[in-house]
Amino acid sequence: HIVAAALRSPAICADSTRTSQALEVLVLWLADSLPKSFESSDAAMGGRTLKDGAADPEEDEIVAAALQGEGGPEGHSDVTSKGHCPWLWLLFESPFPIDLMKSQAAVTLKHWRTVCGILSSKPQAGGIVSHQLPFLALIANKLSKSLIGSLEDASRHLSDPDERSIVYTFALQVPAMSSMCSILQKATVMRNDAQIHFDGNLKAMVNKCLTDFKQVFLMGLQHQNAKVVQTTVSSMQNLLQTPACMLLSPLVMPSLVLALARQPSTLPASAIESAWGVISAMLAGSQAPELVEASTRMAVKLIASIAEYSAASPASFAAHTG
């Protein structure tokens, strides 16, 4: 509460040094309290499976239950069945990280990356992974929902503050999704070894997060603002440079390939080179020979199609060849 109050103070937020000091306290407290919270609350998330025929839980209800230490919606897994999650309160109810990015972007992003690292730190037991994953999914999806709201009207002219807000939120989403993918990768291995069990609620939360994540990048690529498109492509590239995030390829590549294939191109010239960089990163990071082979064929056919179109419009191909 003290840190949250400090982060709401205009005097603190206007001073990068004092903001950094407040966030350092938050990071130290989180690093100490989070593992203990998971270890002491065996049913911190997903304590019961979804009942047959029950609808997916509403995220707002799940978060509210976690903040208040109450059970989730009737018929769903409890978010917390023992105690509450005070650290989650700071991430969902304080200015950190989204609002604080407006005044202290560099300091906030630095500490946000540290927080995401703590949230995805190596667990000592499979059960803790099943606690980490849903909380990371909630946090990542909060960022996705914010972006979806900002990108909803693709033809709307963005003011400079609106444009910066979108860019900043993408910057926050990359470490959040990277951390979630890291935990999801660990959880998949543990699940194959029968060390943990995914209940229906957990699956629904992760699926919702991935679905909204896919929608964010589709909307970003279709936006009329060149800075937004460039940021969307750059975020794809940054994510796919992380091995654990290769599982996101099926979510982001179809919309990117479609944007590249559309002629005349709707991508800004500045984004085209980065877009090809995303495809290169995907090919370089893939561990599946079949995927590499299929993706390589796709890239070659895409280049051939663009070259064929350039016969009628040479300037189009020139944009891709730089």
Q: Is the pLDDT of residue 321 over 50?
A: yes
Residue 114 confidence class, pLDDT cut points 50, 70, 90: very high
How far is it, in rounded angstroms, from Cα 185 to Cα 242?
A: 12
Contact 181, 242 (CB under 8 A): yes
Residue 7 or residue 192, greater confidence: 7
Closest CA to 292 of 304, 284, 302: 284
Contact 133, 198 (CB under 8 A): no
**Model confidence over 151-207: pLDDT tens digits?**
998 888 999 999 999 999 999 999 999 999 998 888 777 766 555 556 677 788 889
Highest mean pLDDT among 105-109, 197-201, 264-268, 308-312: 105-109
What is the reported pLDDT for 221?
94
What is the reported pLDDT for 20?
95
Range of weakest confidence among 84-93, 183-192, 249-258? 84-93
Q: Is the pLDDT of residue 310 over 60?
A: yes
Torsion angle, alpha carbons of 287, 288, 292, 293, to 10: 150
**Model confidence over 21-67: pLDDT tens digits?**
999 998 998 888 777 766 655 444 444 333 333 344 455 555 554 55
Alpha-helical segments (H) within 152-199 = 160-192
Residue 105 or residue 90, greater confidence: 105
Closest CA to 316 of 263, 278, 252, 244: 263
Residue 132 confidence class, pLDDT cut points 50, 70, 90: confident
Closest CA to 291 of 256, 260, 247: 247
